[in-house]
Structure 1
Amino acid sequence: MVDIAHQHDTPAETINRPAGTPTPPRVDDNGRPAPAVRYLLAGIRLALGWVFLWAFLDKTFGLGHDTTSAKAWIHGGSPTKGFLGSAAKGPLTGFYHSLAGTTFADVLFMIALVAIGTALILGIGMWLAATGGAVLTVMMWSAVLPPASNPFLDEHLIYAAVLVVLAFLGAGRTLGLGRLWATTPLVRRLPWLV
């Protein structure tokens, strides 16, 4: 094991590591994640941002991946009707069926997808993106209880947890505008917008 706070090996780690094997740095002198860790987090942030942004683009324009052009939002299709209207199952089925295809649900869902995806890709508003993304993915998880491949866990809960970790670790500062965003007067006055 590595004592991250002090950047040195514990005795057990020293015994188990082959002689001459370097220890990769995990934190820098200021206690921030080391560059390799920051770039890995930035890559995960960008990938999750693309997941949300792609869902928005496909549902809006019917790019043919999951949404045909005829069912695109710009052609009068509903981005929530198919999933919430037919795929929802479990204890919350009635609630989700009542939302399926409503203008309120469609608009709110699409705003959430584009806002979360854009914030993640730009690396700004990470707390808002993490909170919104976690709420959205947990709702998507709760719409299909129990999940098909596990008694309770699926990728939506993993996405929610990863989004929160990205916000905690400041993942928007690497390969993103998070560092610049944090210096704006608005964010200085309202630090929860970081």
Structure 2
Amino acid sequence: MATTARHHVTPLEQVEAPGSMLTHTAARVLAVLRITTGSVFLWAFLDKLFGLGYSTPGERAWINGGSPTKGFLSGVEVGPFQDVFRGIAGAPWADWMFMLGLLGVGVALILGIGLRVAAGAAALMMALMWIAEWPLARETASGEATRSSNPLVDYHIVYGIAGVVFALTYAGHTWGLGRWWASLPIVQKNRWLI
């Protein structure tokens, strides 16, 4: 009785297989979205680190003694956690966590590696920023309009979900280092690092 070898279908083969959920074009579009989303995170890191003059002026750059969290968190005037966020504004641990998160998520998404960890970090960061802005409110504590355009879904939610989609679709395998990363022995032993 002859036995046939079983062929394990990899995520990449699923992308290339006829009738699969992802076409080559869809995988490429996901790669572009992954890289551009990573660029958003990495740019925020660089602007806050060096004060490139977009959202952070040079004198408030982290390398010049500024705080990456103080400006945003000290201005929180809405939602049930406003006192908590204002309380951690400018705390060194908060600055380091925020900056490492921006850098790590940005680099991981651009390179297409560690997407599961990056997705978790991006989702957590975006959820905390959503809670800080509290788009459910129409007015701040002082009675001014919040200018919230959607009480539930804003760019924080979209970026968080996008990170999860990148991880679940192996988006790092197209135009990234995802295949190489997944072949590393440490990643093979710890699949959560994919």
Give TM-score scaled by structure 2 length: 0.83
Helix, strand or coil for the counterpart of 1:77?
A: coil
SS at match of 1:143: helix
Deviations, residues 57-109 of structure 1 (Å, cap 9, x unaligned): 00000000110100000000000000000135211101101110000100110
The correspondence for 2:56, drawn from 42, 62, 67, is 67
Q: What CA distance in whole angstroms lies between the structure 2 residues aligned with 1:29 and 1:74?
A: 49
Equivalent in 85, 109, 119 of residue 98 of structure 2: 109
- Contact 2:76–2:82 (Cα < 8 Å) also in 1: no
- Give the RMSD, CA atoms, in angstroms: 1.5
Query: Which has the bigger relative contact order, CA under 8 A and spacing at least 6?
Result: 2
Q: Which amino acid aligns with 1:164?
A: V
Distance 1:142 1:99 in 2: 14
Partner of 2:7: none
Indicate the SS of the match to 2:133. Answer: coil
Runs of 4+ in 1 over 6 A off after TM superposition: none
TM-score (norm: length of structure 1): 0.83
Tell me, yes or no, if the aligned pair for 1:52 and 1:114 is still in contact at 8 Å.
Answer: yes
Matched, 1:28 2:23: no
Query: Size of the alignment, in residue pairs?
Result: 169
Aligned partner of 2:123 in structure 1 is 134
Residue 161 of structure 1 corresponds to 161
Q: Select which of 7, 24, 28 maps to 1:39.
A: 28
The gaps in structure 1 that reach 5 residues or longer are 1-25
Unaligned runs of 5+ in 2: 1-13, 137-147
1:144 CA displacement:
1.0
